[in-house]
Amino acid sequence: MRDTEPLEEALGHTFSDRELLAEALTHSSYAAEHPGVGHNERFEFLGDAVLGLAVTEFLFATYPGYPEGELAKIRAASVSGEELAAVARSLDLGAYLRMGKGEEASGGREKASILADAMEALIAAIHLDAGYPKARQIVLRLWEDRVRAKAASPGARDYKTRLQELLAADQRRPEYVVEGRGPDHARVFTAVVLVDGEEWGRGEGRSKKEAEQEAARHALETRG
């Protein structure tokens, strides 16, 4: 197996139990060619649950104004196979996998399904090696921006469009004033939504878009 030090550095976790990491990085096709070697399918099952819980806790705490249905949609979009594969690619996870010759020859290291499954397995291995708090910390570091983007996207909860449609009935329109503060790596934006020069709502976010969405949500809750 390839030296995993760069992967562990990217994760922010050095494994105490190297066998856990090795099994999490082993595809079933490799195990089929090497009898007695374990593979990562059972790890996927646990990793899926750990990821889901971490994202659920984050959504519940961060978006108290969102109803259950919207939270469920955002969670589903955030932990989809597409997102799992994208995070795996950001870690170059495919390069560390052990897989059978046939699977490798067919481009298995780049297959989204294999990468997504391996990412779940890796989360499970971290959980088993260091406990849920550590696994949650790593999940949120890798996923927080993605979850926030889903929460602010039109497909999740587009408050800005709803506010604009509400005001359009009276031929009015909202205006947003956004200010940022803090260092680039921890930038926080504050948005104020004005209607006819009057403040209707205020919100904060890690991006201008998220702050504007939060301001619009506040306006709809208090004025809508």
Classified as helix, coil or strand, 199 is strand
| Residue 22 · residue 8 · CB < 8 Å | no
Q: Which of 98, 94, 148, 133 is nearest to 13 (CA)?
A: 133
- Looking only at the bridges linking them, the beta strands covering 198-205 and 188-195 are antiparallel
Active-site positions? 48, 120
The residues, ordered by sequence, that sit 6+ positions from 137 with a Cβ below 8 Å of its Cβ are 12
The residues, ordered by sequence, that sit 6+ positions from 220 with a Cβ below 8 Å of its Cβ are 159, 162, 163, 166, 201
- Is the C-alpha dihedral spanning 176, 182, 183, 186 positive or negative? negative
